[in-house]
Amino acid sequence: MIMVIIVALAAGVQGGAASAIPAREKQPPSSGRQLLYYNHAYGVFDRQTADAIEHSAYLRKFADFQVRTTTGANGETWTGRYLMGRETYLELFGIGDAPGQDGTLGCTGVGLSTERAGDLATVVQRLRAAGVSDPVLFRQTRDFGDGVPVPWFDAVSPTLQYDAYGAWAMEYTSEYFADPRSNTEPAASPGDVGRERYLPDLYRHHLMRDVTSVRLAVTARDLASTVPLLRAGRFSVRSLADGGIVAKGGGTTIRYDVVAREHARMRRVEMSLNRPVPYRHMERLGRSTLVVGPGAHAVWTFDDTYGTGRP
């Protein structure tokens, strides 16, 4: 899910935003309980890097890897390269693979999601209490190719104004889990709308288990609009001396560095493995480097391609 689609969807729901997130059976409130968890991050890369990722034989061994074009609400489509874990995943684009502004080099985003039905409504309440007076509420749908869209998730974004990065919170719908085309798992408990239920278990046949850390370079404006959402979801947020922040919660760390727009990008991703490996394997993928092992850990770093004069 990407920010330009949020803008398109918001145009249709702003008049009735109060009903965009339906009332659901809520769990008992807890002021300290974490409500949002890292779901996935996306980045837009130069064509050389995107193509190298798409055609990599190694990535197909390393992770539950797929290339997919998705059709969402209003007929918007995007084509991504996906590395799927147990609860978390990565979504990687080349220039132009996502519509509008979000298909430009260096754009990034982070989707956060709830684990329990009803928690998204609490996040919205906390956003408003924190001074976000007009959060953008919307529902996304998914078309599996037969022209019959199914409700996918309800979501909230703190703002429609962004430079190159956006964050949103989402809650998967009961209709999506009930649709056999979704290939999701049964609920582990009442109100379970969690990430592990949503993602398939194919990660078990590969090395990659989950995303444990993401480092993104974003503008000061984009970071400022993101912090209230992180706090509303009960991430632990720590400010850095250079103006960035580190947000921790649910087993994933998100670090934000403040840069000018021309240097905005995904910088680094760390992943846990299903089992430790005794070796160190380095895979160069376009203008990025994936290092796997030794141990049960992998690190993927991405070059700053601005100023190279290359697309």
Tell the residue number behind the tokens 């807890």, with chain if given.
30
Instruction: Mean pLDDT check: name the lowest of 78-92, 121-135, 196-210, 295-309.
Output: 295-309
Q: How confident is the model at residue 5 (pLDDT cuts 50, 70, 90)?
A: low
Q: How far apart are CA 155 and CA 157, in angstroms?
A: 7
- In what side-by-side order are the strands of the sheet with 208-218? 236-239, 245-249, 252-258, 208-218, 265-277, 295-302, 288-292, 281-284
Task: Tell me which H or E stretch contains 196.
Answer: helix 195-198
Question: What would the pLDDT profile of 248-260 be if each residue is shown by its tens digit?
Answer: 999 999 999 999 9
Whether the pLDDT of residue 17 is over 70: the answer is: no
Contact status, residue 188 vs residue 194, Cβ threshold 8 Å = yes
* Distance, CA of 197 to chain centre: 16
Q: How, if at all, do strands 89-94 and 108-113 pair?
A: unpaired
Give me the mean pLDDT over the 228-246 stretch.
97
Contact partners, residue 118, CB within 8 Å, separation at least 6: 24, 25, 26, 27, 191
User: Given its phi and psi angles, is residue 305 left (phi above 0), alpha (psi -120 to 50 degrees) or beta?
Assistant: alpha
- Per the prediction, the chain carries an average pLDDT of 91
Higher pLDDT, 188 or 28: 188
**Residue 158 binned pLDDT confidence (cut-offs 50, 70, 90):** very high
Q: Band of the pLDDT at 166, cuts 50, 70, 90?
A: very high
Q: What average pLDDT score do residues 259-278 get?
A: 98
Q: What is the pLDDT of residue 76?
A: 85
Q: Average pLDDT for residues 165-190, to the nearest whole number?
A: 97
Name the one residue in this structure whose structure tokens are 């796997």. 292
Does pTM surpass 0.85?
A: yes
Whether the per-residue pLDDT at 20 is higher than 80: the answer is no
* Euclidean distance between CA atoms 252 and 240, whole angstroms: 18
Confidence of residue 145 (pLDDT cuts 50, 70, 90): confident
